[in-house]
Structure 1
Amino acid sequence: MAKYIVKATIQTLEKGKKLVIKPSAEPQEVPKALVKELLGKGLIVETGTGSAKSAAEPTQAGDDTGTGDDNSGD
């Protein structure tokens, strides 16, 4: 099983036993057979090279607080 950030409760059967994976900001193991489907539905997020918190909370576009002058119509 690979590790991913889980955003919703996942219930499945694995080897005849019920498996429940609860949401968490910490990376958790997810059965490889489910990864593609769960990624497509947005229920899990790849941990990648960043921290688990950054993967769980994507940044918003337009949050740039730079000091440059964007007014080029002078």
Structure 2
Amino acid sequence: MTSSIAQVSTDGRIVIPVEIRRKMGIHAGDQLILSYHESELHIATRKQRLQQAQVLVKAYVDNTVSLADELIRERRAEANE
């Protein structure tokens, strides 16, 4: 685990140290997801959250199933009703 101390400016900004930005793959202009839980602030990149979601979906969906194809079939069936 990497820890660092950051100071909050008068307008509420903090600077994420370069070592942490490199490890997380954060670049200028990236959007980050901030989560507050039990008095702690957690920071994640959108890419990290997307990967977490993909892992969760894979745990519940058979690899032979195309969710996109399934959605298209459902939408077509609804349109024909």
Specify the TM-score bucket, using the shorter chain as the normaliser: under 0.3
Instruction: Decide which structure has greater helix share.
Output: 2
Q: Which has the larger radius of gyration?
A: 2
Instruction: Decide which structure has greater strand share.
Output: 1
Name the TM-score, length of structure 1 as normaliser. Answer: 0.27
Higher relative contact order by CA 8 Å / sep ≥ 6: 1 or 2?
A: 1
Name the TM-score, length of structure 2 as normaliser. Answer: 0.25
